Structures are given as C-alpha cells and as structure tokens.
Amino acid sequence: MGRTSDARERIVRAAARLFLTRSYHTVGVDELCDAAGVRKGSFYHYFPSKADVAKAVIDLHAEAFWMRLEDDHQATPSERLHAAADAIGAIQMDFESHFGRAVGCPFGNLAAELATTDDDLRRHVAAVLAELERRLAVVCREACEQRLLRPGVDPDRLARALVAQYQGMILLAKVSAASASDLPPALHQLITAHLNDPVHA
C-alpha cells in the first residue's frame, strides 16, 4: 500500500502563512506550489482554483479557533466569556510570536480584501464570523438567564459588540504595529462592563 500524500495539507498550510503575512491577491499559484513543495499538477488535483484554497484556509483557521473556544461547561457563563477573550488574545499573540509582528485576523483580513471582489469567498468568511457571534451569543444568553448581565443588556448585541471589538482592535494593532497583548484586557473590560459579577474587576 502506497504512502499517503500530505500535499493537500502542505498547500493549505503554506497558503495560510502566505495569506496572513502578505495577502490573498498578491500570492499566486506558482508561489503557493513553491512554498508547499508541490508541482502545479498536484495543486490542481486538490484545488480547482486559488479561491478553493482560500476556503480551505478559512476552514483550517476556523477549526483551530473552535478548539481554542471550547467551553468549560463547569464554568459560569461570565467565566466562559472571559475565557473566550483570553483564547482570542492567545491566538493573536501566537501569530505575533511566530511572525514577529501583528498580522491581523485571518478572517478579518480576507473579509476586508475580498468583500467587494469575490462574493463566494465573502460568504465563506461571513459564515465563520457569524458562527463565532452565535457561539458567544449562546453564552451571553445563558448569562442573561442567570441574571449575570446588567439590567437592560441585550445578550445578542453584546455578542456582536465583542466580535466587533476584537476585529477592530486587531486591525488597529496591525496598522499601528501595536502588541496583541493589548487585546485581552480590552475585551475583559468590555465584558466586565456588562456583567453583574465581574470576574476581572
């Protein structure tokens, strides 16, 4: 029985790195093949187009993201919200440590670059961000049901505000070369401002 090829995985991981440090549009198929150490025929065996690689990259990052955000169901909803803030910060600090600078959010980067040029990829990214918001909203609603949110706080709006805050701060960090370590405290502050039992007060 022949050895299983890891060419597809190498292509996706090379693309993930190049799209983060450069951009989707500036990276060509030839460069992806060189970085992954595969022939162009192998590339097109796995991916009909570069856009299909981008979808695989989005899915790769999403899978890693969901693993980081796995809930500890023994924790309170407020503790789980703060844990999500720490997880988001850890992902960004890992990128910064690996690449030596803030490179942005893989979802936000692709959304900004492709929103007006590739509707199919835009929808793929939008689905991941919507899933993140949905997962945070579930926890926010549990916090609301347990009267852990301040009176008048809408749990769905809080979830959206958390996604917007983290995306906005990552973009600013990338532009200003700020440290990703500033992200978790800002998210904790936003969460704490809406809670009756501030864990990080």
- What is the reported pLDDT for 2? 39
Burial class (CB in 10 A: 0-12, 13-18, 19+), 192: middle
**Contact 155/180 with Cβ under 8 angstroms?**
no
- What is the reported pLDDT for 191? 95
Q: What are the pLDDT digits (tens) for 89-105?
A: 999 999 999 998 889 99
φ, ψ of residue 38 to 5 degrees: the values are -130, 160
Please spell the DSSP secondary structure of 44-82, one letter per residue: HHH-SSHHHHHHHHHHHHHHHHHHHT---TTS-HHHHHH
Domain ranges of the chain: 52-193
Mean pLDDT computed over 109-125:
89
**How far apart are the C-alpha atoms of 45 and 139, rounded to whole Å?**
41
Structure pTM?
A: 0.87
Q: 52-193: CATH homologous superfamily? A: Tetracycline Repressor, domain 2 (1.10.357.10)
Q: What are the pLDDT digits (tens) for 120-174?
A: 999 999 999 999 999 999 999 999 999 999 999 999 999 999 999 999 999 888 8
Q: What are the pLDDT digits (tens) for 27-61?
A: 999 999 999 999 999 999 999 999 999 999 999 99
**How far apart are the C-alpha atoms of 115 and 179, rounded to whole Å?**
27
Q: For residue 195, what are the β-bridge partners?
A: 149
**Contact 162/170 with Cβ under 8 angstroms?**
no
Is pLDDT at 73 greater than 80 in this prediction?
no
Question: Residue 5: which residues within 8 A CB-CB, separation 6 or more?
Answer: 42
**How far apart are the C-alpha atoms of 155 and 144, rounded to whole Å?**
7
